[in-house]
Amino acid sequence: MTRIMFVCTGNICRSPMAHGVFVDRVRKRGLEHRFEVESSGTTAYHYGESMDERAASELKVHGIRFRNRAKGFHRADAADYDLILAMDRSNYASLMRMTDTEHQNRIRMFRSFDPEGSEDAEVPDPWYGGREGFTKIYEMISRTVDVLIERYAEAGADY
């Protein structure tokens, strides 16, 4: 069992998209029992809100219906997840500040798993942009989620 927490700023755009795509792929592959996934934000501004309309509509284009209520990342969460994946560098820095030293090695940049990404590549904040920004981040999220599932589907994969 691998436990993964996706983290962005508001938990209404990027991390719920990653969460929803992940759940959908895992279900289609019958791998539900291998993973426990959650998402959260580094800020509480949007606490309790559903996913941004633009994010939800991008997921629908790909046949994914996913509902989420925004929540914040809490210090205690670090103990409960094997991987805590930050969408951008600012999220990464916030997570490092919020997490006890013993668990900081669980924090990684989400796109460090993207074959077209790098150690510090970001899923850019789509909040102030248009709908097309969501199509672009869906592509990054989609291919990165596939790599994560491939890599951690087997019990005992190294973190």
Active site residues: 8, 14, 125
Judged by CB under 6 A, does residue 9 bind ligand 4NP?
A: yes
Interacting span for ligand 4NP (CB under 6 A) from 4-12, 60-68, 98-106, 112-120? 4-12
99 phi and psi, to 5 degrees? -115, 135
Judged by CB under 6 A, does residue 20 bind ligand 4NP?
A: no
Judged by CB under 6 A, does residue 109 bind ligand 4NP?
A: no
Helices 53-61, 14-28: inter-axial angle, 10-degree rounding: 30
| DSSP string of 130-151, one letter each residue | -HHHHHHHHHHHHHHHHHHHHH
Judge residue 60's burial from the number of C-beta atoms within 10 Å of its C-beta, 0-12 exposed, 13-18 middle, 19 or more buried. exposed
Name the residue nearer to ligand 4NP (CB basis): 12 or 107.
12
Site map for ligand 4NP, 116-135, x if CB under 6 A? ---------x-x--------
Name the residue nearer to ligand 4NP (CB basis): 41 or 117.
41
Q: Site for ligand 4NP (CB under 6 A): which residue of 2, 4, 6, 12?
A: 12
Strands, sheet with 107-109, edge to edge from the N-terminal-most edge strand: 35-41, 2-8, 83-86, 107-109
Interacting residue ranges for ligand 4NP, rule: CB under 6 A = 8-14, 41, 45-46, 125, 127
